[in-house]
């Protein structure tokens, strides 16, 4: 699917929820505590093979558990070599699944830090937001995340945004433009999935 038509956002919202049900890790495997310093600026450099680096500034004040989970996985090199398996131009690019199918995740799940789940996270799914994919269960997010290509605020309050792209948004544009999904759900064939060389964390 190529350029995302805004008038179909309602349909895509439903499709998005159904697709995320494929993320099958339901229930909390971790204690969901966090030790991040909310006064520290945390950045994630997401290097994508043949494209370059997308830099994301994380927001532990709004989503501390989500940020710490993402940071821990990145520091463990969990994401190195994984892919973006679902891409919809004008909507988002989703990755971080070790199976590359939408069915995988890490060994733990985390609480969903969004309004519908009782958390005061007011971050919006605007262009460049990074947010956690999940199944229908509110506390089922694991390792899969997505980067918003164009404003998709209909997701606000239902998914945990935990930061925003500060550099490399043109790489998001390029990845999304180059995508050739095989269905209306954004599925990318395994041989064509953009590869995450690494995700490295740094602080300021």
pLDDT tens, position by position, 117-147: 999 999 999 999 999 999 999 999 999 999 9
What is the predicted pLDDT for the residue at 19?
A: 47
Residue 3 lies in a domain: no
Residue 126 lies in a domain: yes
Q: Report whether pLDDT(27) > 50.
A: no
Q: Report whether pLDDT(26) > 60.
A: no
Residue 183 lies in a domain: yes
| pTM for this model (two decimals) | 0.86
Residue 17 lies in a domain: no
Which band of pLDDT confidence, cut at 50, 70 and 90, is reported for residue 34? confident
Which of 192, 176, 163 lies closest to 41 in space, CA to CA?
Answer: 163
Residue 148 lies in a domain: yes
What is the predicted pLDDT for the residue at 33?
A: 59
Dist. CA 66–CA 14, nearest whole Å: 24
What share of the chain has pLDDT > 70, as a percent? 84
What is the predicted pLDDT for the residue at 38?
A: 84
pLDDT tens string 60-88: 999 999 999 999 999 999 999 999 999 99
List the end-to-end C-alpha distance of the chain, in Å, as a whole number. 39
Lowest mean pLDDT among 11-20, 127-136, 147-156: 11-20
Q: How far is CA 30 from CA 93, 127, 149, 158, in A?
A: 26, 30, 30, 21
Dist. CA 3–CA 57, nearest whole Å: 27
Q: Pick the residue with more confidence: 1 or 148?
A: 148
Which band of pLDDT confidence, cut at 50, 70 and 90, is reported for residue 8? very low
Residue 14 lies in a domain: no
Number of domains in the chain: 1
Order the strands of the 92-95 sheet from edge to edge: 84-88, 92-95, 145-148, 129-132, 161-167, 52-58, 42-48, 196-203
What is the predicted pLDDT for the residue at 21?
A: 41
What range defines the domain where residue 195 resides? 29-203
Q: Report whether pLDDT(203) > 90.
A: yes
What's the CATH number where 116 sits?
2.40.100.10
Dist. CA 114–CA 185, nearest whole Å: 24
What is the predicted pLDDT for the residue at 32?
A: 53
What is the predicted pLDDT for the residue at 11?
A: 46
Give the start-end residues of each E strand in the chain. Answer: 42-48, 52-58, 84-88, 92-95, 129-132, 145-148, 161-167, 196-203
Residue 103 lies in a domain: yes
């Amino acid at each position: 699917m190529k350029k995302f038509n805004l008038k179909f956002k309602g349909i895509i919202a439903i499709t998005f929820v159904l697709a995320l049900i494929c993320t099958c890790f339901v229930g909390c495997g971790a204690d969901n505590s966090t030790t991040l310093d909310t006064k520290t600026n945390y950045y994630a450099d997401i290097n994508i093979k043949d494209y370059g680096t997308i830099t994301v500034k994380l927001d532990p004040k709004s989503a501390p558990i989500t940020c710490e989970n993402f940071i821990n996985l990145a520091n463990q090199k969990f994401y190195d070599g994984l892919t973006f398996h679902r891409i919809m131009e004008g909507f988002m690019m989703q990755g971080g699944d070790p199976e590359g199918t939408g069915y995988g995740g890490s060994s733990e799940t985390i609480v969903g830090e969004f309004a519908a789940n009782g958390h005061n996270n007011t971050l919006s799914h605007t262009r460049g937001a990074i947010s956690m994919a999940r199944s229908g269960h509110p506390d089922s997010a694991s390792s899969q995340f997505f980067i918003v290509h164009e404003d998709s605020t209909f997701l606000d309050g239902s998914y945990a945004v935990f930061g925003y792209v500060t550099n490399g948004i043109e790489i998001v544009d390029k990845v999304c433009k180059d995508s050739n999904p095989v269905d209306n759900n954004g599925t990318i064939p395994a041989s064509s999935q953009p590869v995450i060389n690494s995700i490295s964390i740094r602080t300021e």
